[in-house]
Amino acid sequence: MVIDLRSDTVTRPSPAMREAMARAEVGDDGWGEDPTVNRLEQMAAERMGKEAACFVASGTMGNLSALLAHCVRGQEVILGDESHIVHYEAGGSSALGGLVWHLVPTLSDGTLPLDAIEGAIRPLADWYAQAGLICLENTHNRCGGVIVPVDYFAQVAELAARRRLPVHLDGARLFNAAVATGQPVTAWTRHVSSVQFCLSKGLSAPVGSLVAGQKDYVARVRRARRMLGGGMRQVGVIAAAGIVALTEMVDRLAEDHVNARLLAGGLAALPGVQLDLATVQTNIVVFTLAPGIDSTEFSAHAKREGVLIVDMGGGRLRAVTHFGISADDCRRAVEVCGRAVATCAARSA
Ligand SMILES: Cc1ncc(COP(=O)(O)O)c(C=O)c1O
């Protein structure tokens, strides 16, 4: 059996999801007539503490629609240089929306320095592109799934209000932050204008994300979604899985967090593995290898023994726990990684 730790996106729909999908009531969502989609969007808006929500095909489409609905062509979006939007969304908001990315450094705790955000907002002048949006991410993927604290969000919200800018949250894994800290998702979302969260990561639905915000804003998101070709029809068949995800799969994320700590503890104890356990706050484990040990060779060795890990580049490796991964899988993965690192170290000696 393969132990797939590449991402929580590899999760398969649960039996309850398949059952709900088969039984879903549907209608034409293009006309707002799919009752299952409408129910999911209402549930999502309530959970996020916002007026409305729009169901989209993916986290990438959610972030892109969200950015297009906030800004006009030529405006600047203030983004962390380690953000998912910058690294893994094919440059969509720039290529398709004409938005200008103003990158600021991402600190290892997933925050962007407040003075860097403030410094990225250019004065009003004919020759300066004007800021239209600040983006945050929580949990922070490339920082190892760390939880960006609520009080930091409050500080950014204060800055944004003072500079009259909206804040968008890429909350693909916001429920992981909520479950890990025992705080409701609204602790964070009350400080942002819009939020995107994914149903298809740890929550295990096969498809889908939602963008939530004020009613008139969500109407603009819906228009952007349509423009991107993401308007859907009898899509209650997938929204039904999303409803199961929101009602049955949130609390169990705690299990993924326990397993991530188990995995991280085992990996950190291996000679040749470098891992800061303080960064393991949710379901993502990022680590490096001692100098001279090749990460590509390491992950290839692990793969041959049935353990899939992502090589993030720059020597960083990532393992993610999820619905399909048990504590035993984590123990077995540590054994395999132990053999892989020992073999690679012997070769490099
Ligand atoms: C933080 C973050 N945002 C957005 C996304 C995009 O989601 P999708 O793969 O559904 O487009 C991901 C996917 O892993 C993510 O980790």
Reported as a single tens digit per residue, the pLDDT across 117-148 is 999 999 999 999 999 999 999 999 999 999 99
Give the number of other CB atoms < 10 A from CB of residue 278: 10
Residue 270 lies in a domain: yes
| Residue 196 to residues 23, 45, 234, Cα–Cα distance (Å) | 27, 11, 22
Same domain membership, residue 266 and residue 242 = no
Is the pLDDT at 349 greater than 90, yes or no? no
Q: What is the CATH number of the domain that holds 318?
A: 3.90.1150.10
At 191, is the secondary structure helix, strand, or coil? Answer: coil
Residue 8 lies in a domain: no
Give the mean pLDDT of 339-347: 91
- At 345 the pLDDT is 85
Q: What is the CATH number of the domain that holds 26?
A: 3.40.640.10
- At 330 the pLDDT is 98
The answer to whether the CB of 65 is under 6 A from ligand 1 is no
Strand partners for 349: none
Residue 134 lies in a domain: yes
Same domain membership, residue 256 and residue 209 = no
Q: What is the mean pLDDT of the chain?
A: 97
Same domain membership, residue 139 and residue 30 = yes
- Residue after which a domain boundary falls, among 248, 264, 290: 248
Residue nearest to atom 16 of ligand 1 (CA): 141
Residue pLDDT, tens place only, 3-22: 999 999 999 999 999 999 99
Give the residue with greater pLDDT, 87 vs 348.
Answer: 87
Q: In whole angstroms, what is the distance from residue 339 CA to residue 17 CA?
A: 38
- Percent of all residues in the chain with a pLDDT value above 90, rounded to a whole number: 98
User: What is the Cα gyration radius of the chain?
Assistant: 21
Give the mean pLDDT of 257-265: 98
Residue nearest to atom 13 of ligand 1 (CA): 59
Q: Ligand 1 center to residue 220 CA distance, Å?
A: 21
Both tokens assigned to 77: 């979006």
Q: How many CA atoms lie within 13 A of 117 on its CB side?
A: 27
Same domain membership, residue 257 and residue 244 = no
Same domain membership, residue 284 and residue 237 = no
Residue 4 lies in a domain: no
Both tokens assigned to 139: 């949990």
- At 348 the pLDDT is 78
The answer to whether the CB of 172 is under 6 A from ligand 1 is yes
Give the mean pLDDT of 195-208: 98
Q: Ligand 1 center to residue 172 CA distance, Å?
A: 6
Same domain membership, residue 308 and residue 231 = no
Query: How many domains, the chain?
Result: 2
| Residue 149 CB contacts under 8 Å (≥ 6 apart), including other chains | none
- At 220 the pLDDT is 98
Pocket test for ligand 1, best of 6, 8, 60 (most atoms within 8 A of CB): 60
Give the residue with greater pLDDT, 332 vs 313.
Answer: 332
Same domain membership, residue 194 and residue 98 = yes
Residue 330 lies in a domain: yes
Residue pLDDT, tens place only, 18-49: 999 999 999 999 999 999 999 999 999 999 99
Same domain membership, residue 333 and residue 263 = yes
Q: In whole angstroms, what is the distance from residue 88 CA to residue 165 CA?
A: 25
Q: Ligand 1 center to residue 9 CA distance, Å?
A: 9
Residue pLDDT, tens place only, 159-190: 999 999 999 999 999 999 999 999 999 999 99
- Residue after which a domain boundary falls, among 248, 270, 292: 248
Give the number of other CB atoms < 10 A from CB of residue 216: 10
- At 187 the pLDDT is 98
Residue 2 lies in a domain: no
CA 18 to chain centroid: 24
Is the pLDDT at 251 greater than 80, yes or no? yes
pTM of the model: 0.97
The answer to whether the CB of 170 is under 6 A from ligand 1 is yes
Atom of ligand 1 nearest to the CA of 60: 11
Q: In whole angstroms, what is the distance from residue 246 CA to residue 260 CA?
A: 22
Both tokens assigned to 206: 């096969």
| Residue 233 to residues 51, 240, 295, 342, Cα–Cα distance (Å) | 23, 14, 44, 53
Strands 52-56 and 76-80: unpaired
- At 223 the pLDDT is 98
Q: In whole angstroms, what is the distance from residue 199 CA to residue 50 CA?
A: 17
Q: In whole angstroms, what is the distance from residue 101 CA to residue 221 CA?
A: 20
Residue nearest to atom 5 of ligand 1 (CA): 59
Sheet containing strand 316-320, strands side by side: 273-274, 284-289, 316-320, 310-313
Residue 7 lies in a domain: no
Domain extent for 327 = 252-348
Is the pLDDT at 153 greater than 80, yes or no? yes
Residue pLDDT, tens place only, 42-95: 999 999 999 999 999 999 999 999 999 999 999 999 999 999 999 999 999 999
Q: Ligand 1 center to residue 209 CA distance, Å?
A: 9
Residues 244, 238: contact at Cβ < 8 Å? Answer: no
Residue 3 lies in a domain: no
Same domain membership, residue 223 and residue 271 = no
Residue pLDDT, tens place only, 89-112: 999 999 999 999 999 999 999 999
Atom of ligand 1 nearest to the CA of 62: 11
Give the mean pLDDT of 287-292: 95
Amino acid (1-letter code) at residue 38? N
Atom of ligand 1 nearest to the CA of 58: 10
Is the pLDDT at 347 greater than 90, yes or no? no
